[in-house]
């Protein structure tokens, strides 16, 4: 019997050293279900060889509206904790895969969508973008990493107010607060994300890897530990073949050609 073809929940397009990942649940405003989370996990677990940057975005006017509550199942405390820890694991894969991730944001960036966005390294927002953590208004609590990732951007005080009131931040407010790094015109986020991804892809892979792996961890460390970790990163990167090429290119007044 022929069965209807179903599209993947995560569309993957490869163009040179850059992959574009498009969450594909348009009727759900790209709400996060276990299937979509599993496809994100599968990509970051084994990214294509030669990949130097990733673009993450949504479809039909929305980035991601958070956990799909229609698929929510009642779990006991242990099941809920395991589900939350799985989200943490996948969000860590996005943040620490070693490949820079640029997100193109528009429409809903809500709940788990905001947790996913803040796991990316560069965030580009359109005017339609709305940032929100509505869990408190639904009698639940964030579970995908917002207390760490969003909390470090906003601070605990502002995040507490955001969750208590359910307030929504506009793209302009999100830019001012650090939820977005760039604000572009309507319909321009993907093109700007592509431009930034191409620029990032030109960097030495080791330098990009160091920035992704080290900076947020150093932020966790006491001052002296952080400074020591910085020295280790400097020692590894500045004695690499890429560093030799970067210095040579500077002296020869040309663009470097990193491995």
Hey, which residues are catalytic here?
115, 135
Length of the chain, please?
259
CA gap 166, 111 in Å, rounded: 10
CA 182 → CA 80, 86, 101, 137, 185, distances in Å? 35, 30, 14, 29, 10
CA gap 127, 234 in Å, rounded: 39
Task: Answer for the pair 216, 233: CB distance below 8 angstroms, yes or no.
Answer: no
CA gap 53, 149 in Å, rounded: 21
CA 195 → CA 47, 60, 62, 106, 127, distances in Å? 21, 21, 21, 17, 19
Q: Which tokens go with 22?
A: 């498009």
CA gap 58, 106 in Å, rounded: 8
Task: Answer for the pair 169, 132: CB distance below 8 angstroms, yes or no.
Answer: yes
- Quickly list DSSP for 174-221: HHHHTS-SEE--TT-HHHHHHHHHHHHHTS-HHHHHHHHHHHHHHHHS
Task: Answer for the pair 111, 162: CB distance below 8 angstroms, yes or no.
Answer: no
């Amino acid at each position: 019997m022929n069965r209807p073809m179903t599209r993947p929940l995560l569309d993957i397009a490869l163009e040179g050293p850059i992959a574009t990942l498009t969450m594909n649940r348009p009727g759900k405003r790209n709400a996060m279900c276990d299937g979509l989370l599993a496809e994100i996990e599968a990509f970051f677990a084994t990214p294509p060889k030669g990949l130097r940057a990733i673009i993450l975005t949504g479809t039909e006017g929305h980035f991601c509206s958070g956990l799909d509550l229609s698929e929510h199942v009642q779990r006991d405390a242990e099941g809920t904790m395991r589900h939350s820890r799985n989200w943490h694991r996948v969000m860590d894969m996005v943040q620490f895969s070693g490949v820079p991730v640029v997100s193109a944001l528009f429409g809903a960036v809500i709940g788990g969508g905001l947790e996913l966005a803040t796991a990316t390294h560069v965030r580009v927002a359109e005017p339609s973008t709305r940032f929100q953590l509505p869990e408190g208004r639904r009698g639940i609590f964030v579970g995908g990493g917002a207390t760490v990732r969003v909390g470090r951007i906003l601070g605990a005080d502002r995040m507490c107010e955001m969750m208590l009131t359910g307030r929504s931040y506009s793209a302009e407010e999100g830019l001012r607060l650090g939820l977005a790094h760039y604000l572009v015109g309507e319909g321009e986020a993907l093109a700007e994300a592509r431009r930034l991804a191409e620029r990032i892809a030109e960097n030495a892979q080791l330098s990009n890897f160091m920035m992704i792996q080290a900076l947020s961890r150093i932020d966790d460390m006491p001052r002296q530990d952080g400074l020591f970790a910085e020295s280790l990163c400097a020692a590894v990167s500045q004695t690499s073949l890429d560093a030799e090429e970067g210095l040579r290119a500077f002296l020869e007044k040309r663009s470097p050609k990193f491995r």
